[in-house]
Structure 1
Amino acid sequence: MYYTRPIAISALLASTALAATSISDEEMTSLLNAGGVELAVRYAPMWFFGQAMNQPPCYPTWAFSGSPTTPDIYDLDHQTPPAPQCDYPDVGCNCRNPGVPIGNPGPAFPIYYSYQKCNDNEVRVAYNLFYEKDGATVSISLKAIEDTGRQAKLEGNNLTVVDDNFDPHVVRFTVNNTASSQAVAAKSVDLDIETGHNYDWERVIIVHSKDSNNYWTPTRALLSSHSKYHNLAWGDIQNTLTTEEINAGNAIDPNGVKNNDHPKVYVAWSKHANFDTRNTGWNDPISQSLDNAFRSQDWWHFVDPSNYIRSDLSTAAGQALASANWGDATANPPHVHDIMCNAS
């Protein structure tokens, strides 16, 4: 049974008057010349993952058959195969799962990163995560969708759902079965729909800006959500951590503290959109394609610098990523790198 109720977003506590650390223009130049890993790690997210309905999520993994103990091999013969979808709510079937009990740090995974100096006053760093799939297959009627307060329209094999309370408020699905016109008119027939696809690339882009004193600070975070971004001013990110808290292994607490160096990023359970808030109020299948997608903090992980893989076309990783077929997951790291400065 699916439950829908008003959003239960984590409570926003009073924020402390803090500020992210800044770096000099000379140091920024040095960090970029050194390959950007240290810059990326200094302001990297702490990633959070959750399960719903006792079903674990797909968990980030290596794109070319790597593992926590072995590196990727950058040829197409070693491309990680996609994972087939299963019936909802089994969103984590056939793919890598966290593999440890809830309430613990998750295992290692890579970040396929790159950076761009967009102009004299802006540097951007992309943190890309790879998943073997997203979503699930769902059997649901038009009536069941409309009972959640949404509008649903079926045209051929295309289902459009409209929810004016969230952005994106229009989502489209492919229907696998053909229903009779009488049953569709009655809105009672179950439709077999695909909510996801083979492979999934998601990312966070952190924007660094130079001030009039020639010092750089992070000023915005772009959190990927399907085909768009949640574009947040750094001071508006709901939960951040200090580097000292990261090094101490803290993650769950504190909450509601803004303007530190490391944003808490909550990955949606089914389709892996990224958010700066938790939301455990909706676990129905349609919500997972909207901004009320389920996300929580059952596992967390801060990626070690050794698992940062530079992924622009100057590297073997980037060249292999660009040459591989990722199906509908077209926002692979080299593609993101090329358009990063225009992302909003």
Structure 2
Amino acid sequence: MINTIITEESWMKVENNIPGYGRLNISRVNYGMNVLIASDHKGFRHILLPLDKIDSAIKDNKSRGIVVFGRDLQIDEQPNQPFLDVWCIQKDNNNLFNIIANDIVNKIQIGESPVEAVSVTLNNWRKFWLKGLKPILSENEIKGLFGELWFLYTWLLPKGKEQIMNWFGPSGNKYDFESTTFSVEVKTTSSLAGHIHKINGLSQLEIPSNGLLYLFSLIIRNDKKSNYNIPLLVRDIKDILSSNITLLYQFENKLIEAGYLSEYEAEYEDFRFNIVDERMYIVDEEFPKLTANDLVKGIPKGVQNIQYDINLDNCHNFHMCNSPKDWEVECKL
């Protein structure tokens, strides 16, 4: 988990006025850490990390909208000191830069050197970008993300805004939502045949060792006249989390992990959905499913990528409710 140390409020301290050409407005993040933030005369943001010597600085211009280099600075009338400057050169990258900056600061807090923290963080983000982060998601991916956000907004967050911490779908965890007391797998379909979903692998509906497992099924239809789309849900969820900066940044980080970039909000506005039906099911030992335990001799060598369809319209005995107000669950992190 990334602890949020640098926030928009932090930047207000250095962006309230414009410094002279070639100068920086500088502020210390907090007095317990030797990390500085700065804004230059063009309004670009910088993270300044003190170095023992300028020779240890790295140069990096391979990341999206971020440049790293060493520089000597005189701060608070002290002698010149070498710094590693992590510079955001694209203002529309500011939200992402905050997440990356906090990742760097968190690594420094646990003992990594500035150079190591910056190198590892940027390398990790480059790997993420190289995995194929597209301008916008495919239609199936949009429907899947819409389903997770719909469940988060209408079913889970009413039980407490801290429930945002239980959303793990973007991280590729076993279940889309996981806590110490329950897990939820979210399935979204636009099939005219009903609540029929594809189950990916033998572990997707394995009952967790701690807590209960639920299967949330959502049927949607493409509807240009509907108000419901991903940008609307994102804005509504941000409104809920707005009083807690840490939770808000956790949410924004998860959206980026999911491949959703706010720069393409206008494109996502066109993908509008009507909610046809939503149901909650309990997945227990009797629930119809395939797991590794069901294969007495194990998975045959060479067999992989096992998938199967499940028709929840035939699972009446496991249907719990159709409304979040009727879903009683102990919500813990």
TM over 0.5: no
Larger Rg belongs to: 2
TM-score by length of 1: 0.20
Q: Which has the higher contact order (CA 8 A, sep 6+)?
A: 1
TM-score by length of 2: 0.20
From the two aligned structures, give the one with the greater helix fraction: 2
